[in-house]
Amino acid sequence: MLINLTELFSVEGKEKTYTAAIDMDCFQAPDGAREIVSRMPAMFRIQNLGSRKLLLEGKADITLRIPCSRCLEPVDVPFELDICQELDLNRTEEERAENLDEQPYLDGYYLDVDQLIGNELLLNLPMKVLCREDCRGICNRCGMNLNHGACSCERSSPDPRMSVIQDIFQQFKEV
């Protein structure tokens, strides 16, 4: 959804509240697309600070389905985003890039809500998502989810210092 910001520039100090629907169905994370399970309309309060500068404050609630880092089962992760940005429309694209203050969600006098929410989600993504604290993960040999039961794979890992002796035993087995 795009919000037209031109009406705020008529009077310095003018303030307006917007309710914007989040239109995106999936979020493109660096490691793949994530399904959006639930979302509430975002609420924004935008105030004209003068000199073509705006103060944007907002809230958004959104839930993403992210795979567990250990067992890969889907986990619904809620995000309560508090957004506070100062938008300076005087700066050119080159100045924003030079100051590492790129605002791809701002295009002329239009604010792209989906892009803004996507940027905030990207900043708030957790490093690791677990389905539960005691998640046992998956077997590294057969791929079975160990939370559902044990697999029949051999669990013993030989001491690497014994590998020479184990090689000798393997040679005798082949003969």
pLDDT for 158:
67
Cα 2 from Cα 20, distance rounded (Å) = 8
* Closest of 78, 77, 64, 61 to residue 131, by C-alpha: 77
* pLDDT for position 171: 80
Domain residue limits, the chain: 2-124, 139-175
Q: What is the dihedral of CA 61, 64, 69, 73, to 10 degrees?
A: 130
Please tell me the predicted confidence (pLDDT) of residue 76.
96
Pairing of strands 15-20, 42-50: antiparallel
What pLDDT sits at residue 98? 65
The segments of the chain whose pLDDT lies below 50 read none
Taking CA atoms, 3 is separated from 10, 70, 87, 90, 174, in Å, by 16, 40, 14, 18, 74
pTM: 0.75
Among 64, 57, 18, residue whose Cα is nearest residue 41: 18
Assess contact for 82 and 61: CB atoms under 8 A.
no
Q: What are phi and psi of 120, to 5 degrees?
A: -65, -40
Q: Are strands 32-39 and 53-67 parallel, antiparallel or unpaired?
A: antiparallel
**Position of tokens 């029949």?**
152
pLDDT at 92: 66
